[in-house]
Amino acid sequence: MNFSHFGAPGGLSRRIYAAFLLAAVIPTALAGAIGVYLSLQALKNETLRNLSQEVTVRSQGIGRFFDQLSSELLYLANTRGLVDLVAARQTKDAWLFQTATTRLERDYAALASLYPHIYQIRLIAADGHEWVRVDRKPQGVYVVPRHELQSKSDRYYFRDAMDVKLGQIYVSPLDLNVEFGKIEKPERPVIRVATPVAGPKGSKIGVLIINLHADILLEQIQQMANARRGTAYLLDNQGHYVSRSAMGEPGAFSMEPVARLSNIFPASITKNLLESGTSPNFGEGWIVAHAPIDYAPQAIAENSKGRWRIALAFPERDLFLAVVNLYLLYAVLFAALVVTAFGGYALSRRLLRPLEDLSKETDAIASGDFTRKVSVTGSDEIAALGNKFNSMANRLQESSQVINAHRDRLEQEVRTQTRELEHERAYLEAVIEHTADGILVIDHQGDIRLLNPAAVRLLGGRPTPLGTRIALFWPQWSEIVNDAMHAPLRCDVQLPEQVVSLAITPTSAGFIVVARDVSREREMQDERRELDRQMFQMEKLTTLGELAMGLAHEIGNPLAGMKAVAQAMQYEEDIPPGLIEALKRLEAEVDRLSDFLRSFHGFAAPQATLSEPCNLGQILDDVLFWTRKDAMSRNICFELEGVDTLPPLLADPHQLKQVFLNLLMNAVHAMPEGGNVTVNATVQNGRARIDVIDTGVGIEAEVLARVFEPFFTTRREGTGLGLAIVRKIAEQHGGTIDVSSTRGHGTCFSITWPLAGNRYV
For residue 681, the model assigns a pLDDT of 93
pLDDT digits (tens, 9 = 90+) for 371-381: 767 666 666 66
Residues 208 and 280 in one domain: yes
Strand partners, 649: 614, 755
For residue 4, the model assigns a pLDDT of 43
For residue 629, the model assigns a pLDDT of 79
For residue 409, the model assigns a pLDDT of 87
CA distance 687 to 735: 9
Residue 752 has pLDDT above 90, yes or no: yes
User: Which candidate, 331, 389, 334, 398, places its Cα nearest to that of 362?
Assistant: 389
Please list the alpha-helical segments (H only) found in 693-753.
701-704, 722-732
Percent of the chain at pLDDT > 70 equals 75
More confident residue, 325 or 484: 484
Categorize the per-residue pLDDT at 147 as very low, low, confident or very high, splitting at 50, 70 and 90: confident
Average pLDDT over residues 689-711: 85
Q: At what angle do helices 80-91 and 94-114 cross, to 10 degrees?
A: 160
CA distance 103 to 97: 10
Q: Is residue 38 part of a domain?
A: no
Average pLDDT over residues 74-94: 81
Q: Which of 705-717 are b and which e, b meaning 16 or more Cβ less than 10 Å from the residue's Cβ?
A: eebbebebbeeee
Residue 172 has pLDDT above 70, yes or no: yes
Q: Is residue 700 part of a domain?
A: yes
Concatenated DSSP letters of 438-468: EEEEEETTSBEEEE-HHHHHHTTSS---TT-
Q: Please, what sign has the CA dihedral across residues 187, 189, 193, 194?
A: positive
The DSSP element (H or E) to which 425 belongs, if any, is helix 381-434
For residue 7, the model assigns a pLDDT of 42
516, 535, 563: which is the final residue of a domain?
516
CA distance 375 to 354: 9
606, 628, 646: which is the final residue of a domain?
606
Q: Is residue 66 part of a domain?
A: yes
Contact between residue 269 and residue 255 where contact means Cβ atoms under 8 Å apart? no
Q: Is residue 701 part of a domain?
A: yes
CA distance 357 to 108: 80
pLDDT digits (tens, 9 = 90+) for 622-639: 888 888 878 888 888 999
Residue 290 has pLDDT above 50, yes or no: yes
User: Which candidate, 130, 161, 135, 162, places its Cα nearest to that of 146?
Assistant: 130
CA distances from 680 to 620, 646, 677, 747, 749 (A): 12, 10, 10, 14, 11
For residue 170, the model assigns a pLDDT of 86
Q: Is residue 128 part of a domain?
A: yes
Based on the structure, what is the number of domains in the chain? Answer: 5
Residues 105 and 251 in one domain: yes
Residue 519 has pLDDT above 60, yes or no: yes
What is the end-to-end Cα distance of the chain in Å, rounded?
149
Contact between residue 76 and residue 108 where contact means Cβ atoms under 8 Å apart? yes
pLDDT digits (tens, 9 = 90+) for 265-283: 777 777 777 777 666 766 6
Residue 748 has pLDDT above 90, yes or no: yes
Residue 146 has pLDDT above 80, yes or no: yes
Residue 488 has pLDDT above 80, yes or no: yes
Dihedral, 167, 173, 179, 184 alpha carbons, nearest 10: 140
Average pLDDT over residues 278-301: 70
Residues 149 and 62 in one domain: yes
Main-chain dihedrals φ then ψ at residue 374, nearest 5 degrees: -110, 140
Dihedral, 137, 142, 145, 150 alpha carbons, nearest 10: 40
CA distance 442 to 503: 13
More confident residue, 464 or 125: 125
More confident residue, 463 or 161: 161
Distance of alpha carbon 735 from the chain centroid? 49
More confident residue, 637 or 532: 637
CA distance 753 to 733: 8
> If you average pLDDT over each of 31-35, 468-472, 555-559, 721-725, which comes out highest?
468-472
CATH code, 526: 1.10.287
For residue 678, the model assigns a pLDDT of 93
* Residue 380, amino acid: D
Residues 354 and 475 in one domain: no
More confident residue, 180 or 612: 612
Please list the alpha-helical segments (H only) found in 115-180.
156-162
Q: What is the pTM assigned to this prediction?
A: 0.40
Residue 419 has pLDDT above 80, yes or no: yes
The DSSP element (H or E) to which 240 belongs, if any, is strand 240-245
> If you average pLDDT over each of 402-411, 598-607, 706-715, which comes out highest?
402-411
The answer for residues whose C-beta is within 8 angstroms of residue 206's C-beta and 6 or more apart is 123, 124, 125, 126, 131, 196, 197
- For residue 370, the enclosing domain spans 4-18+345-398
Categorize the per-residue pLDDT at 248 as very low, low, confident or very high, splitting at 50, 70 and 90: low
User: Strands, DSSP E only, in 297-417?
Assistant: 308-315
The DSSP element (H or E) to which 517 belongs, if any, is strand 510-517
CATH code, 113: 3.30.450.20
Residues 367 and 295 in one domain: no
Phi-psi region of 453 (alpha: psi -120 to 50; beta: other; left: phi over 0): alpha
Categorize the per-residue pLDDT at 589 as very low, low, confident or very high, splitting at 50, 70 and 90: confident
Q: Based on the number of CB atoms within 10 Å of its own CB, is 414 exposed (0-12), middle (13-18) or buried (19 or more)?
A: exposed
The answer for residues whose C-beta is within 8 angstroms of residue 404's C-beta and 6 or more apart is none
User: Which candidate, 193, 105, 190, 182, places its Cα nearest to that of 144?
Assistant: 105
Residue 758 has pLDDT above 50, yes or no: no
Concatenated DSSP letters of 23-64: ---HHHHHHHHHHHHHHHHHHHHHHHHHHHHHHHHHHHHHHH
Residues 654 and 718 in one domain: yes
pLDDT digits (tens, 9 = 90+) for 95-122: 888 888 888 888 888 888 887 888 889 8
Categorize the per-residue pLDDT at 554 as very low, low, confident or very high, splitting at 50, 70 and 90: low
Average pLDDT over residues 617-624: 88
* Residue 314, amino acid: F
Residue 91 has pLDDT above 60, yes or no: yes
For residue 253, the model assigns a pLDDT of 64
For residue 544, the model assigns a pLDDT of 63
CA distance 72 to 212: 13
CA distance 513 to 504: 5
For residue 648, the model assigns a pLDDT of 92
Q: Is residue 622 part of a domain?
A: yes
Q: Is residue 36 part of a domain?
A: no
Residue 611 has pLDDT above 60, yes or no: yes
455, 486, 516: which is the final residue of a domain?
516
Mean pLDDT of the chain: 77
Residues 389 and 537 in one domain: no
For residue 331, the model assigns a pLDDT of 67
Question: 9-23, 556-570, 654-668 — which is least confidently predicted?
Answer: 9-23
For residue 293, the model assigns a pLDDT of 78
Residues 127 and 246 in one domain: yes
For residue 10, the model assigns a pLDDT of 44
For residue 609, the model assigns a pLDDT of 72
Residues 190 and 253 in one domain: yes
For residue 246, the model assigns a pLDDT of 72
Residues 505 and 621 in one domain: no
For residue 398, the model assigns a pLDDT of 77
Q: Based on the number of CB atoms within 10 Å of its own CB, is 451 exposed (0-12), middle (13-18) or buried (19 or more)?
A: buried
For residue 649, the model assigns a pLDDT of 92
For residue 736, the model assigns a pLDDT of 92
Residues 636 and 500 in one domain: no
Q: Residue 170, CB half-sphere, CA atoms under 13 Å: how many?
A: 22
For residue 760, the model assigns a pLDDT of 38
Residues 506 and 522 in one domain: no
Residue 16 has pLDDT above 60, yes or no: no
CA distances from 307 to 171, 218, 261, 393, 753 (A): 11, 17, 17, 73, 76
Q: Is residue 25 part of a domain?
A: no
pLDDT digits (tens, 9 = 90+) for 67-77: 887 888 888 88
User: Which candidate, 307, 185, 156, 314, places its Cα nearest to that of 253?
Assistant: 185
Average pLDDT over residues 137-158: 86
